[in-house]
C-alpha cells in the first residue's frame, strides 16, 4: 500500500473530452420524464385500448430518452471536481437512471413523480456546480410586450 501511495501520480491530465457542443441541462431529462408522467395520467383516464397501447409504447421511448440524458450528464458534464464537491451526485444519477427503467416498465404515476423529484435533485447540483453559466447559451433579454 505504501508503494502504491508512493507511485501514485500527483498530476491528472485528461485524455478524453466532452463532445464539442458542451451543452448540458437536466431540463432535457425532465421534459422526457414529464412526458412519462403525463402519458401515465392519460393512460389511466382512457378507456380506448388502442390509445392505451400507443401510450405504453411512447412512454417507454420517453423513459429511455430520460435515461440517456441523465447518463450524458453523469458521464460528460459532471467532472471529478464536481464529484469531490458534491459527492451525492454519483448516487443521484445512478438512482435516477434506475428509476427511468422503473418508469419504463410501470404505469404507476408515483414512480414517474419519484423520477421527476430525482431529476430535480440532479438539477440542484448542476446549478450549484455552475451548470447554467458553463453550459447554456444565454437567452436574449425578453422582448417587451
Partner 1 sequence: MEPALRAGDWIVVTSLSRPPRVGEIVLVRDPRDAGNLMLKRVAAVADGACMIVGDRPEASTDSRTFGPVPLTNVLARAVFRYGPIRRIGWLW
Q: Is there binding between residue 84 and partner 1 (CB under 8 A)?
A: no
Q: Is there binding between residue 5 and partner 1 (CB under 8 A)?
A: no
Interacting positions 20-39 with partner 1 (CB under 8 A): 20
Q: Is the dihedral of CA 34, 37, 40, 46 positive or negative?
A: negative
Q: Which of 1, 2, 3, 14 binds partner 1 (CB under 8 A)?
A: 14
CB of residue 20 to partner 1, shortest distance in Å: 5
What are the DSSP calls for 66-101, one per residue?
HHHHHHHIIIII--HHHHHH-THHHHHHHHHHHHHH
Taking Cα atoms as reference points, which of 75, 67, 78, 58 lies closest to residue 30?
67
CB of residue 9 to partner 1, shortest distance in Å: 5
Residues forming contacts to partner 1 in the complex (CB under 8 A) are 7-9, 11-20
Amino acid at each position: 500500500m505504501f508503494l502504491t501511495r508512493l507511485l501514485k501520480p500527483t498530476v491528472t491530465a485528461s485524455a478524453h473530452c466532452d463532445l464539442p457542443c458542451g451543452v448540458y441541462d437536466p431540463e432535457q431529462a425532465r421534459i422526457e420524464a414529464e412526458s412519462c408522467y403525463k402519458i401515465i395520467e392519460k393512460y389511466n383516464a382512457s378507456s380506448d385500448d388502442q390509445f392505451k397501447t400507443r401510450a405504453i409504447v411512447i412512454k417507454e421511448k420517453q423513459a429511455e430518452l430520460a435515461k440517456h440524458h441523465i447518463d450524458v450528464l453523469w458521464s460528460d458534464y459532471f467532472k471529478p471536481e464536481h464529484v469531490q464537491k458534491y459527492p451525492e451526485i454519483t448516487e443521484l444519477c445512478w438512482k435516477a437512471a434506475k428509476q427511468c427503467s422503473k418508469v419504463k416498465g410501470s404505469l404507476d404515476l408515483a414512480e414517474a413523480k419519484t423520477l421527476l423529484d430525482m431529476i430535480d435533485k440532479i438539477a440542484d447540483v448542476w446549478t450549484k456546480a455552475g451548470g447554467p453559466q458553463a453550459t447554456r447559451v444565454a437567452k436574449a433579454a425578453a422582448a417587451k410586450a
